[in-house]
Chains A and B, each alone.
Chain A
Amino acid sequence: MFQDSIQFGVAIAAAARDILLDSSIYILFGIVVAGLVKVSLNAATVANHLGRGRYLSVIKAAFFGVPLPL
């Protein structure tokens, strides 16, 4: 029983390590680019670009939202 739970824990840790190894380089690239986007395009200043259009403002809001993190 005790041995089983140890084995289970080790297996989960190994699986988590594999996923982390597979993704960490890409995550690093991703957060660096996201940081650079944040410096040039503040989420709060998106309103700057929206305008008053009934439909165009929606397209612009959706468009700016795609790259913005969170």
Chain B
Amino acid sequence: MLPAAASLKRQGANRGAVSAFLISTPESGIDSIFITYALLDPIMTVIRPIAAFITAVSTGFVENFLHRPKDLGPMQVDRSCPVDNCCDGVDCPEEVHRRHHGPGEKLAAGLRFAATDVWGDIVGWFAVGLLLAAVITVLIPDDFMARWLGGGITSMLVMLVIGIPLYICASASTPIAAALILKGVSPGAALVFLLAGPATNVTSLTVLVGMLGKRGTVRYLLMLSVCTVAFGLLVDHIYRVLGIVPSAVIGEAAELVPEPLKYAGALVLIALSVRPLTSRFRRKKSASGEQVTFHSGFPIPPMAKGDATQKKPGPSSCGCGMH
């Protein structure tokens, strides 16, 4: 998420747009929407992306309202081919650029992305989230947390203080939130955790200061906190008005799935997890002590300056014919 936002900024996006992107991308994704439906309930599934969108828009608006974005001329847009980076699209006509790959090729690439990039990015965190959720489920007595985190502004603030420095991705935070709700945490407080957990963490703050400046980062955190807590309170209100007992509806979607399909799905998922988990472990072992690098599947934009990794010219066989 951070490399993508940095590249947005390099391409000339204004600070408000970068802040908005920095909030809505980690707080919500297609993958986490599906997991939310499975482990939480339809209300949370709908509210989570809406809350991410509104938080992102409000933060970006405040940024651009206080700082009129400078007119930097036309954007230097990165048009690299998203399928396999075969063409940087700079001198390629729009019509040709769109037709580098057929639908079958795109579908195959999409499935490959799903198994390697998307799941590969999530799996480590998801394993941690799963384990934490299991520990919460076993160790903490039912309704134990209802007294302190059962709703109201204090529970929201507690979850905010836990969520902001914590680094966990949207998918991995979902099983933890489900376990917390089953132990009496109010759905609003759980939503605060779901939003604040992925949006920021201790390491991303230093990158934020570089991209938005110190004051910009403070505004970013302030807006994020205000919107997140407001949505937490709103969600608790919704459950109260509808008269829904959260712990009774959590995870109901999973009951719709027939038992054999559950086992088949789990087996496929475990099979997909072996490679990314072992390679991550090996990388950690060999690279311990090295500098932290952000891994991402995004192509390096051609205008990235000072980067050691210069973009290689794509193969001339990609169909563009204009290289």
Footprint of B on A, CB under 8 Å? Answer: 8, 11-13, 15-16, 19-48, 50-52, 54-55, 57-70
User: B17 contacts A19, CB within 8 Å?
Assistant: no
Interface check B16, CB cutoff 8 A:
yes
Q: Are B262 and A25 in contact (CB under 8 A)?
A: yes
Contact of A36 with B114 in the complex, beta carbons under 8 Å: yes
Contact with A along B243-272 (1 / 0, CB 8 A): 000000001011001000111111011000
- Total chain B interface residues with beta-carbon distance under 8 A: 94
Shortest C-beta distance, B1 to chain A (Å), equals 5
Highest count of chain B CB atoms <10 Å: which of A34, A48, A60: A34
Contacts of B63 in A (CB 8 A): 58
Please, which residues of chain A bring their CB within 8 A of the CB of B60?
58-59, 61-62
Docked pose: A19 CA to B119 CA in angstroms: 17
Please name all residues of chain B whose beta carbon is closer than 8 Å to the beta carbon of A40 when the two chains form the complex: 82, 106
Q: Which 7 A-B pairs have the closest CB atoms?
A: A35-B114, A30-B34, A65-B24, A58-B60, A22-B254, A26-B38, A42-B82
Nearest CB in chain B: distance from A22 CB, A: 4
B35 touches A27 (CB 8 A): yes
Q: Given A41-B82, A69-B31, does the pair A59, B4 have CB atoms closer than 8 Å?
A: no
C-alpha gap A13/B266 in the complex (Å): 14
Asked whether A38 lies within 8 Å of B119 as measured between CB atoms, the reply is no
Q: Give the docked Cα–Cα distance between A60 and B122 (Å).
A: 25
Say what secondary structure dominates the interface of chain B.
helix
Q: Among B14, B109, B265, which residue has its beta carbon within 8 angstroms of that of A25? A: B265
Having A23-B174, A41-B82, one finds 11 other A-B pairs with CB under 8 Å, namely A12-B134, A31-B115, A33-B30, A34-B113, A34-B118, A36-B114, A42-B78, A48-B79, A54-B14, A58-B14, A69-B121
Q: Is the CB of A42 within 8 A of B53?
A: no
Mark each residue of chain B from 28 to 41: 1 if its CB lies under 8 Å from any CB of chain A, else 0.
11111111011100
Chain A residue, CB-CB nearest to B75: A47
State the Cβ distance, B79 to closest chain A Cβ, in Å.
Answer: 6
Our pick among A16, A28, A60 for the contact of B269 (Cβ within 8 Å) is A28
* Given A30-B33, A66-B53: A57 touches B299 (CB 8 Å cut-off): no
Q: A35-B110, A39-B110 are in contact. Are A65 and B30 (CB under 8 A)?
A: no
- Quick one: closest B residue to A42, CB to CB? B82
Q: Counting chain B CB atoms within 10 Å of each CB, which of A38, A43, A45, A47 scores highest?
A: A47
